[in-house]
Chain A
Amino acid sequence: NAGVTQTPKFRVLKTGQSMTLLCAQDMNHEYMYWYRQDPGMGLRLIHYSVGEGTTAKGEVPDGYNVSRLKKQNFLLGLESAAPSQTSVYFCASRGDGYYGYTFGSGTRLTVV
């Protein structure tokens, strides 16, 4: 049981480039979340999804887009990367209960 898998694990982008981060879960969870982690700021919610075909903005959505075309996948896109988007990105999923969060191992993104 793989849980939550994030790809890639590391990436370096140049300013203005685009990329997509993939999150895949095999637990049939309805809810999926994208967070970014920055030093001294904890994890902040970027976007989330409450089911296949749905997406919603979180706390810091600007500069990001998401899609949930299949229940098991939640994609995070950066259309035009900026240095301020240098961060570690975590995906998480959960079922119906509040206590069943499963986090991926993260993607470290550097924008130069």
Chain B
Amino acid sequence: GNSVTQMEGPVTLSEEAFLTINCTYTATGYPSLFWYVQYPGEGLQLLLKATKADDKGSNKGFEATYRKETTSFHLEKGSVQVSDSAVYFCALISAGGTSYGKLTFGQGTILTVHP
């Protein structure tokens, strides 16, 4: 079956530090990959996505590249802000079959950014 593994958290950084959150996956075929963000007290919001190998998703200064050879989709940001404090989820959808577009999530990584 499909699975997503994220780096252990929580992650605590100072403002303007570089962020990397590792994500690796196991899936059949060619999944679409996503990063979702959950701010305190809110639901999940799509942060970025990539649908095929070597695609780079980007949004709000965050980036992630779909690496098929290493089955990875690591999230990066060059300079984090206090407002980036949230929980980040890596996720995938396997196309076709009976998946019905079901999202499979990693365990989430809590990011806290201090001024």
* Interfacial residues, chain A to chain B (CB-CB below 8 A): 4, 31, 33, 35, 40-45, 48, 50, 56, 58, 90, 92, 94, 98-99, 101, 103-106
One of B14-22, B69-77, B78-86, B94-102 contacting the partner: B94-102
Is B25 an interface residue, CB under 8 A from the partner? no
Instruction: Give the shortest distance, in Å, between A33 (CB) and chain B (any CB).
Output: 7
* Chain A residues whose C-beta falls within 8 Å of the C-beta of B102 in the assembled complex: 33, 45, 48, 58
Instruction: Give the shortest distance, in Å, between B68 (CB) and chain A (any CB).
Output: 18
* Interfacial residues, chain B to chain A (CB-CB below 8 A): 4, 6, 32, 34, 41-46, 49, 89, 93, 95, 100-103, 105-108
| Most chain A beta-carbon contacts within 10 A, residue among B32, B45, B105 | B105
List 20 additional A-B contacts (Cβ < 8 Å) besides A42-B107, A48-B100, A101-B44. Answer: A31-B101, A33-B102, A35-B105, A41-B107, A42-B89, A43-B44, A43-B89, A43-B103, A45-B103, A50-B100, A56-B100, A90-B43, A90-B44, A98-B32, A98-B101, A99-B34, A101-B103, A104-B43, A105-B43, A106-B43
CB closest residue in chain A, given B49:
A99
Say whether chain A's binding surface is mostly helix, strand, loop, or mixed: strand
CB closest residue in chain A, given B101:
A98
CB closest residue in chain A, given B93:
A98
| Most chain A beta-carbon contacts within 10 A, residue among B43, B45, B107 | B43
Instruction: Give the shortest distance, in Å, between B103 (CB) and chain A (any CB).
Output: 7
Which of B89, B95, B101, B107 sits near A94, CB closer than 8 Å?
Answer: B101
- A31-B93 contact given A42-B105, A99-B46, A106-B43, CB 8 Å threshold: no
Q: List 27 A-B contacts (CB under 8 A).
A: A31-B100, A33-B102, A35-B105, A40-B107, A40-B108, A42-B107, A43-B44, A43-B105, A45-B102, A45-B103, A48-B100, A50-B100, A56-B100, A58-B102, A90-B44, A92-B44, A92-B103, A94-B101, A98-B32, A98-B93, A98-B101, A99-B34, A101-B46, A103-B43, A103-B45, A104-B43, A105-B42
